[in-house]
Amino acid sequence: MKLGLFLLILLLSPLKSFSEDGHYDGPVQWNEFRKHVLEEEKAQEIKGLSYMISGAVAAVGGTVGYFHSEEIFSQTLFAITSNVGLAAIGVGASYYWAGSETSSFYYALEGSSLSLAQKNEVLQRYLLKQNELRENRRWIRVATHALIAAVNIYSASQSEDEDMRGLFYFLGGANAVLAISYSF
C-alpha cells in the first residue's frame, strides 16, 4: 500500500497544471500579452521535454515492474503507471510541438492588420471568454472526479476480492482528493 500511495502522489501531482497553460492575468495590453506568450512558449517546451522524459521512465518502469510482480494489486498499479507514462509522453509532445490555444490566438492576431487598439479590444473579449471557459472546465472536473470516486467506492463495497476492494478504494479516494482540489 505504501507503493500505491507513492505512485498516487508521483502520478497525480502534475495533473492540475494541465489546464492552466497559457493563462494570462496581466493587463489588457497587447505588448504585455505578447511578452507573456513568448515566455510561455519557452516554458512549454521545457515542460514538454520533462513530461516526455518522465513519461518514458514511468512507462518503462511500469512495464518492467508489471512483469516482475506476482500480485494482482501490484501488477495493476504497475500497469496503471505504464499507461500514465505513455499518456505523459503524449501530453509532453503536445506541449512541445502544438503549444496552447493562447499562443494560437496570439499568432492569429499578431499577423493581422489590426491596430494596437483593435488588438487590445479583441484581447479583452478573448480573456473574458477564456475566464468563463476555465471556470466551466473546473466544475466539470469536480463533477467528473466525484463521479469516478463514487463509482469506485461503490465497486469496492460490492467486491468480494480483497485486493480488488483495496484497489477500488484507492482509486475512489484518489479521485475524491482530485474532486476536492479542483473545487478551490
* pLDDT at residue number 4: 52
pLDDT at residue number 14? 47
Given this model, what pLDDT does residue 21 score?
Answer: 58
Cα distance between residue 49 and residue 45, in whole Å = 6
Residue 20 banded pLDDT, cuts 50, 70, 90: low
Query: Which residue would you say has higher pLDDT here, 93 or 18?
Result: 93
Percent of the chain at pLDDT exceeding 90: 84
Q: What share of the chain is helix, strand, coil (3-state, %, to 5)?
A: 85, 0, 15
Angle among Cα 42, 45, 50 to the nearest 5 degrees reads 130
Report the chain's mean pLDDT, rounded to a whole number: 89
Helix 72-93 and helix 30-68, axial crossing angle in degrees, nearest 10 = 150
